[in-house]
Structure 1
Amino acid sequence: MTTPLESKSTDTLRGLESFVKAVESGSIAAGARLLGISAAAASQNIARLEQSLGVRLLTRTTRRLALTDAGASYFERVQGALQELELARAAVADLQDEPRGLLRIAASAAFGRHVLAPLIPGFMARHPRIRCELLTTDGSVDHIQEGVDLSIHIQQQLQDGLVARRIATAQTRFCAAPSYLQRAGRPSEPEELRDHDCLLFRIPYDGRFLRWGFAREGVHFEPQVRVSMSSNDIDALAQCAAAGGGITRLASFVADPYLARGELLELFSSSTPTHGRATSAPLDYYLCVRDRYELTPKVRLFMDYLQQHLPAELKPRSGAS
C-alpha cells in the first residue's frame, strides 16, 4: 500500500520531470512528448509541484512559456539533480536488466545511409530490447526538441554546446566520370580545379560550401575551384558526377562502389604518396551528445558497438584529436 509520503514523493518527482522537460523543450506539450505522457497530465504535474512549493514557476500564454524569477532559480538548481537521478536510475536498471526503449540517432545523410544503416540490425540483434530510430539529415539537430539521444556529423558541421567524440575517419576521393575526363581533360594537381566543373556540397543549416582541403609536404591548402553545381545531398553529387557532370569529392564509403564499377575514376590518388604531390584531407566524424548526462547505458552500448564494428578503414587515425 502506498503511504501519503510515498505518494507525495512520486507527485514531486513527476512534477520535477514535467517542469524540467517543459523548460528544456520550450513548451509543456513538447516536454510531455519526451516523457511519453499527455500535455494535460504534464500540466497537472507542474500545477501540483507549484502548489507544493507555494510559488508559480511558469507563466503560460497561448504563444510562449516563460519562467518566473522563482522558476528560473528553481530550474537552475533542480535540472542537474534530475539528470543525476535519471543517470542513477538508468545505471541501476542496467545492472538488473538489459537496457531497453527507443534509441534515437541523428546522422549526416551519407554516413547514416552507407555506414550506420547496415550496422544497426546487428546492434538490435545483440540488444533486442532497444528499438532504434535513424534520422538522416545534414541540417542542424536540436537534441532536446527532436528527442535525439546522439548525433553523428563531420567536424565542419559540429554545433556549439554539444559534447563531441571522434568516432570515425573517412578518406576522401576526388572523382569524375570517364566521359567528363575525356571531354575536359584530367587535372594532375589540385590547382587545376579552377579550370574544371566542380560539384560541391553545401551545408544546409548555414549555407557554406564544404571546402576542399589538401596537404602537400605537411602544408594544408584549399585550391580555388570553379563551382558549376552544388547540392545538400552527397549521393546526388555522386550520381551527377557519374553522369559526367564534373568533379566531386566523396567520402570513401560513398565513392568506392562507383570506382569499383568503373563509373567514376579517382583523381590525385594518395594510395601511393609521392614527394611533392598533394593528398586530400580526410573527413572526421564525431558522435555528439547534449552533455555528459546523456551518456546513458543505451548510448554507451551503441558507442561501444560502433567502435567494434566500424569497417577497419573508418577506424579513427591514432593520434588524431
Structure 2
Amino acid sequence: MSGFTQFIAFASAARHRSFAHAGRELGITASTVAKRILRLEEQLGVKLFHRTTRQVTLSSDGEALYARCEKILADIHELETLAAGTHGEPRGELRINAPITYGKHVVLPAVSRLLQAHPDLSADVRLTDQLCDVIKDGIDAAVRIMPLIDSRLASKRIGWQHLVVCGSPDYLARRGKPKHPAQMDGHAFIVFRVPTSGRERPLQFSVDGEVLELHPRYRMLIDDGEGMVESACHGTGLIQVPDYMAAESIGSGRLVEVLRDFRPPPLPVSIVWPGNRLLPARVRLLIDALSSGADQPNRTANPRAADSGSLAM
C-alpha cells in the first residue's frame, strides 16, 4: 500500500507523543519519522501535530486520524496473529500498564521472568497511577485495582488487595495496640495523599458489616505508599496500606499489623485487555503468569476473609 509506512510512523509518534520514541520502536531515526509524517501531512493537506522544541501534541485532525489508524493497525495485527497462530512462541513487544507500587511488587518480577524465558519477547512497561485508555493507547494488557466498568475490555481476576493497619514494635510499645477503630484517639497517623486529587485518603474499617471511614488528623501526609511503610518502620505512626506493600516489613518484624478483624472489604485485582481482538501468545503468557498465583508476593490476608481486593498505590 502506497504510503503505509507513513501511517505506521504517524501512529507510533501519536501513541508515544514523541518522534524519538517512535523511531526507537520502529528501528529508524527520529528524523526519518518526522520526514514520513511531513510527507503524510502534505499528502492529506492537514496538520497532524503541533510541534514545539519540547514536545509534540496531536491536532484535532491528528486525533481523528490516530483513532482510525489504531483500529486499522489492530485489525492488521489480528490477521497476523491469526496467520501465525495465537498459541505459538511469544514474540514482539508486550505493552503493559499497571499501578506504580503493584507494578513494582508483582508485575515487574513476573515480566522479568517471562523475558528471561522467551528471548524473542520484549516489554514496554508503563507504571502510573493514572488510568489509561487501553485501546486508544495501544496497550496489550493493564492491571486494574477496582471494579471494572469498560465493556470494551475483557478481564480476568488475578488477585485481591487487602488493606492492613500497621505500626512499628517501638511505636506500639509507646502508644499501645488499638483493639477497635474507636480506640484511635491518641495515635499518630501517616496518611496517604491521593496524587490524582491531592486529597487525603480516609482510613477504612469493616465494623458490624458496614464500612466505616475515619479522617484522622495526620502526623505525616505523603503521596508515596512505600514512603509510608518506611516512615512507619521508623516509628512515626500508624499506616493503612495494601497488604503486599507491607508484607516484607511485617515478615521481618519491622511492622506489626493491628485491627486485623476490622479490615475493610478488599478490591479485585484484574488484568484487562482489548476484548474485540484475538489474544496474542505474549498476552496470554502474561495473563497466565499473573493469575497463577506464583508471582504474587507473600500475603498477610485475613484467613476469615473471602478472596477479595485492592488499592492503587
What's the TM-score, normalizing by structure 2? 0.75
Aligned equivalents of 2:22 and 2:149: distance in 1? 22
CA change 1:231–1:106 in 2 (3 A) is farther
Identity %: 27
Say whether residues 1:257 and 2:241 are aligned partners. Answer: no
Structure 1 residues 88-121: Cα deviation after superposition (integer angstroms, max 9, x where no partner) = 2234334595222333434333323332344334
CA change 1:135–1:187 in 2 (3 A) is same
Structure 1 residues 275-320: Cα deviation after superposition (integer angstroms, max 9, x where no partner) = xxx3333243343557755964322320122112344969996698
Q: What SS class does the counterpart of residue 122 from structure 1 fall into?
A: helix
Aligned equivalents of 2:86 and 2:142: distance in 1? 26
In the TM superposition, residue 37 of structure 1 has moved relative to its aligned partner by: 2.6
Aligned equivalents of 2:86 and 2:132: distance in 1? 31
Aligned match of 1:58: 47
Aligned match of 1:279: 263
Q: What SS class does the counterpart of residue 222 from structure 1 fall into?
A: strand
Q: What SS class does the counterpart of residue 191 from structure 1 fall into?
A: helix
Name the aligned partner's letter for residue 300 of structure 1.
Answer: R
Say whether residues 1:244 and 2:235 are aligned partners. Answer: yes
Aligned equivalents of 1:78 and 1:139: distance in 2? 24
Contact in 2 for aligned 1:167/1:286 (Cα 8 Å): yes
1:93 to 84, 87, 90: 84
Structure 1 residues 17-51: Cα deviation after superposition (integer angstroms, max 9, x where no partner) = 22333444446555444434323323443455567
1:13 to 4, 7, 10: 4
Aligned equivalents of 2:308 and 2:228: distance in 1? 32
CA change 1:62–1:243 in 2 (3 A) is closer
Aligned equivalents of 1:96 and 1:295: distance in 2? 9
RMSD, aligned α-carbons: 4.1
What are structure 1's unaligned runs of at least 5 residues? 1-8, 271-277
What are structure 2's unaligned runs of at least 5 residues? none
In the TM superposition, residue 72 of structure 1 has moved relative to its aligned partner by: 6.7
Contact in 2 for aligned 1:169/1:317 (Cα 8 Å): no
Aligned match of 2:193: 202
1:305 to 280, 289, 306: 289
In the TM superposition, residue 169 of structure 1 has moved relative to its aligned partner by: 0.6
Aligned equivalents of 1:283 and 1:319: distance in 2? 5
Q: What SS class does the counterpart of residue 58 from structure 1 fall into?
A: coil
What's the TM-score, normalizing by structure 1? 0.73
In the TM superposition, residue 207 of structure 1 has moved relative to its aligned partner by: 2.0
Aligned match of 1:275: none
The answer to which structure, 1 or 2, has the higher relative contact order (CA under 8 A, 6+ apart) is 2
In the TM superposition, residue 59 of structure 1 has moved relative to its aligned partner by: 5.2
CA change 1:239–1:287 in 2 (3 A) is same
Aligned match of 2:113: 122
Structure 1 residues 145-190: Cα deviation after superposition (integer angstroms, max 9, x where no partner) = 998644435339x999994844321222211122212222222211
1:221 to 205, 212, 227: 212
Say whether residues 1:108 and 2:99 are aligned partners. Answer: yes
Q: What SS class does the counterpart of residue 246 from structure 1 fall into?
A: coil
Give the structure with the larger helix fraction. Answer: 1
